[in-house]
Structure formats: structure tokens, C-alpha cells
Amino acid sequence: MEHTDNKTDLAKIIRERRAVKKGYNNKEVKEETIRELLEDAVYAPTTACVNLGDLFS
């Protein structure tokens, strides 16, 4: 880990850090597939008691 002299440097490191996961590709995803996944996500539990159905209405 890099040593920082001030909070600004630390904030910059945190905001710019990225994890690159293997297995991703550039294949196109159909809009229908994305919509189906979002419809299913509405039923997933949330920690903030947010009703995701309200976001997609």
C-alpha cells in the first residue's frame, strides 16, 4: 500500500483504485436480458428498506 502524507492523497487513492475481475468480455447483452434481470432485482432484499419497484415504475 502506498504511503500518503495527507487525506487528499488517501482519498485520491481510494477513488481511483479499481479491481479488475477476470472473465469479462465484450459480448453484447440484449436489452431484453437486462430488463429481465432488473425485473428480478425488484424482488431482491435490500438493507435500506428501499422498494426498487418504485424506481422502475
Burial of 52 (C-beta count, 10 Å sphere; 0-12/13-18/19+):
middle
For the full predicted model, state whether its pTM sits above 0.75: no
Between 6 and 39, name the one with better pLDDT: 39
Q: 32 lies in which domain range? A: 28-57
Cell readout for 3 is 504511503
Q: What is the pLDDT of residue 14?
A: 83
Between the CA of residue 50 and those of 3, 17, 39, 46, 56, what are the distances in Å? Answer: 39, 28, 15, 6, 12
Residue 43 lies in a domain: yes
CA-based nearest residue to 55, from 38, 36, 34, 30: 38
Q: How many domains does the chain have?
A: 1
Question: What are the pLDDT digits (tens) for 7-54?
Answer: 788 888 888 887 777 777 888 999 999 999 988 888 877 776 666 566
Residue 49 lies in a domain: yes
Q: What is the pLDDT of residue 30?
A: 94
